Structure 1
Amino acid sequence: MKKLFSTRYTIMLLSVIGLGLLTVSCDDDPIPLRDPNAEAGPELKYTWAQTADSLQLSTYNNYLGSNGTFVQNNAGNGTFNYWPNAHVLDVLVDGYLRTGDDNYKTKMKALLQGIKVKNGNTYNNVFNDDMLWLANSSLRAYSATNDQEYKDVADYLWERIKLSWSDNVFGGGITWKQDTPKQKNAVSNAPAAILALRLYEIDNDPDDLVWAKKIYAWQKANLVDPVSGAVWDNISEVNGTVVTNKDWVFTYNMGTWIGAGLRLYKATNEQGYLDDAVKSGRTVLTSPKLVSEGLLRDEGQGDGGLFKGILVRYFTELAQHPTINATDKEKFTDFLEFNAQSFYRKGILRPTMLSGNNWKVAPAAGASVDLTTQLSGVMLIEAAAKLDKDGFFD
């Protein structure tokens, strides 16, 4: 990721400075699931599917730009950014899977083709993570529609991404960008393992499983805390010294690591992969770098606005996994339900249905809301609609 208003890492650094002050919680103590703004009154009925419909419509009406793509914010900035548009495709797939409405298919196809047009008539991008987001969402679209065009895009991107693996720098790993051989990030590796495993499930090509295993093993050895399962953001060489950035622990990296572990467990039936995912999932519930008062932390707008939604996507898979123990399943589901209820009650500006980046504070009327921030809200409510339909919510 990069790059909406200032560099990603400038934004992150400011976030980390703030997070560094939050040291009063022990990582082993669960943060209570409570809403500090709770009000007494009649029990609220949560209309998850209807609210998902409204958020989807608001996103389309407020952010649609040219060529079927979506713009940076709702306040007149018409900039096209590759990676949030890749996640719009994911969100449209969510809507299609939930409703079966063919209007979503029309929007999905226009977006896929529009991304290529807006990106200079190519899907190639210097940022490997950007291509990974699009490849993964394209495979979800392919699985939902059986439209070969989505699969062709994913296959093309996967071949490009693999070129950025190198054994001679840090012992492996995929670079963050095609032109940064000495910087390798969590965001360019766990999503690559997920992509390889999605392809393996479709094509049954053993080479894809080999790729997934080696990417996962490299990330586990270099960018994952062996005790807590917290995911460190990157490893790089700075002035001849190799530095692992262990201070930056972000929600989206936790999500993709969990997603990779779940898929490797499915592909191999090796318990260690599932254990890794559960360990990291438990840390999501307890780490003050990730949560505050039971809610996923406010990571701002810009790039950070999308991070929570990405975690929710994969954390939902973990909560629904059939073989995790009942205690973990209940804790994970309760956590997602508390976040969704808080956002539903406090974080949505009605009637415009715009998302707040702090899930217990709605945007002010007339405020600028980034596409990234809006998408996280849609992802959360789509996840809640799925969990509710599948009987996971009370």
Structure 2
Amino acid sequence: METPEARARTAAESVKGAFGHELLGLRGTWLAWVWAPHPRPQLPWSEWHYWWQAHLLDCLVDAALREARTGEAATEPGPPPSLALAQRHLNGIRLRNFGRFPNMFFDDMAWLALASARAQELARKLTGNGLPPAGDAVQVLAEKLRAGHTDDLGGGMFWNTRRKYKNTATTGPAALFFARTGETNRAQALVDWLYENLQDPESGLFLDGLHLEPQGGTRLDRGVYAYNQGPLLGALLELGGGNLGPAKELVHAIDAGLTDGQGLLKAHGGGDGGLFMGILGRYLALAAADQRLPEGTRAGARRLVVDTAEALWQGRDKRDSHTVFPAHPGEAATSSYPPGSPVELCTQLQAWMLLEAAAALETERN
């Protein structure tokens, strides 16, 4: 039977091999196609999904951590291969985004800031030096994110620069970013705003956001999505102290409200939703490994991650030189993507995230 590390490596190599390419053939850059096989011709302005690329960067950091702990990186001098690729990936993101890291969506920028900060921290730990594109990204994106946190509606983060919607999708990852980079007061204020404005009292889960209406007042979007819960859980754990009780409660709310009848995490289909379950799994894995939480809470978080990763692995389909994973745990990849049809990057990143999370938990347990 394949080890969790081997499974994560299979997912990583499949995504890199099927989707990865140099941007416009330029050395020192790397991006991922949105589809594999990708439509031709690919032009400089073809769709690329900034925030999908940000989560790909996070997956590269996961892979680099695995390479470092398993000794995979010891075959060659220098940083783990995935960390070196992360540097090229950041170069590709900046170049594809017209030579800059910011865009108009604060949630996109928060995701890239989080992944870049992780890449920078790992590079410093392993090499004694930072990762120059990552440090640049963290600095410039932090400034943009501060501008998205205003007193309108009592706090919280705007979704984009049009400033008509404050939502969990931005406020959660921004809170986690600020918590990790030392702005704990700002992070706590963002967390508190979410609890005051967007927590559903019945389920304990967090609703999508508040629209500022043109005629005044607000309109609540009651959508509940897996990815909105994950980074908030991460922020609660990062802040610690009095936030650990709410973190425990959120894990149990997720288990009760965002799972299917088989005890697996619910997926949200393809497109942007193809990342949602994986993002939640990333932060559930942090809860599963956090000794400050009660044993039952940690065990529940671990079960959700490990069982969902197992279901995705069992549903895989081997094609040519890579492996395809299903969009939904419990179904076969051939159901999500019949043979001969193009495969979406988002769902494959989702599987990669969960398989890396399961591998990290196995290492932590041993």
Task: Report TM bin, short chain.
Answer: 0.7 to 0.9
Distance 1:70 1:391, change over 3 A: same
Which of 338, 356, 366 is 2:340 aligned to?
366
Deviations 1:216-250 (A, max 9, x none): 1111111112454201111112353411222x111
Distance 1:132 1:292, change over 3 A: farther
In 2: Cα distance, 1:334 partner to 1:296 partner: 10
Q: Which amino acid aligns with 1:48?
A: P
Q: Which amino acid aligns with 1:58?
A: S
**Structure 1: gaps of 5 or more residues:** 1-44, 201-207
- Does the 8 Å CA contact 2:270/2:344 hold for their aligned counterparts? yes
- Does the 8 Å CA contact 2:87/2:131 hold for their aligned counterparts? no
Aligned length: 331
Highest RCO, 1 vs 2 (Cα 8 Å, sep ≥ 6)? 1
Which of 80, 84, 96 is 1:106 aligned to?
84
Which of 130, 133, 156 is 1:173 aligned to?
156
Which of 228, 232, 253 is 2:207 aligned to?
232
Partner residue of 1:383? 357
Using the size of structure 2 for normalisation, the TM-score is: 0.86
Q: Which moved more, 1:139-148 or 1:125-134?
A: 139-148
Which of 352, 355, 374 is 2:325 aligned to?
355
Query: SS at 2:207's partner residue?
Result: coil
Which of 232, 238, 250 is 2:225 aligned to?
250
In 2: Cα distance, 1:142 partner to 1:291 partner: 37
Partner residue of 1:70? 32
Which of 196, 203, 217 is 1:221 aligned to?
196
Instruction: Give identity over the alignment, percent.
Output: 28
Query: SS at 2:36's partner residue?
Result: coil
- Does the 8 Å CA contact 1:259/1:317 hold for their aligned counterparts? yes
In 2: Cα distance, 1:331 partner to 1:195 partner: 25
Deviation at 1:215, TM superposition (A): 1.2
**Structure 2: gaps of 5 or more residues:** 24-28, 74-79, 125-129
- Does the 8 Å CA contact 2:234/2:286 hold for their aligned counterparts? yes
Q: CA RMSD in A?
A: 1.6
Partner residue of 2:314? 345
- Does the 8 Å CA contact 2:37/2:343 hold for their aligned counterparts? yes
Deviation at 1:148, TM superposition (A): 4.7
| 2:307 aligned with 1:315 | no
In 2: Cα distance, 1:328 partner to 1:106 partner: 36
| 2:247 aligned with 1:277 | yes
| 2:163 aligned with 1:193 | no
Distance 1:226 1:274, change over 3 A: farther
- Does the 8 Å CA contact 2:35/2:342 hold for their aligned counterparts? yes
Query: SS at 1:296's partner residue?
Result: coil
| 2:143 aligned with 1:159 | yes
Using the size of structure 1 for normalisation, the TM-score is: 0.80
Q: How does 1:8-47 map to 2 (within 5 A)?
A: 45-47=1-3
Query: SS at 1:353's partner residue?
Result: strand
- Does the 8 Å CA contact 1:115/1:123 hold for their aligned counterparts? yes
